[in-house]
Amino acid sequence: MFFYASAQAAQHAYQAVLTSEQNCRGQTRSEQSSFGAPTDALIVQTASVNDGASWSRHWTGVETPAGGTEPGIQTDHGYVLQRGVVLTVVDFNEGPSASASTAPYDVVGDAAVLHAIAAHLST
């Protein structure tokens, strides 16, 4: 959770996250290419609510000199929601070391996740 001096500042930060997600595929594929990984990044917006959105990014991770990510196929899930002066960002990764017997996270529930985050911000 990030707290801003005003709702306008929080909204500006929210818009910056949206812009970043819109550019994520190209940036990720560029990084993949630079480090010799397949350029397979696919970013999909999975849900949206008023001033909130979620994405799924499926890609082959790369290990960079700065640390990067765990190499291998993975899926990253991100949620962002702005309410008043608060910007909430939730992110989790289904990495290549995840158990093959574990079912992948189902993005069908992403709108409900955004609504749940919004409800917690309202209390």
Q: Is the pLDDT reported for residue 105 higher than 90?
A: no
Rg (CA), the chain: 16
**Mean pLDDT in residue range 53-69:** 83
Q: 89 lies in which domain range?
A: 2-122
Decide: 101 and 107 in contact? Cβ < 8 Å.
no
Per the DSSP assignment, residues forming a β-bridge with 3 are 86
User: pTM for this structure?
Assistant: 0.84
**Mean pLDDT in residue range 40-64:** 91
Domain count, the chain: 1
CA distances from 2 to 9, 11, 40, 77 (A): 11, 11, 31, 19
DSSP annotation of 72? E
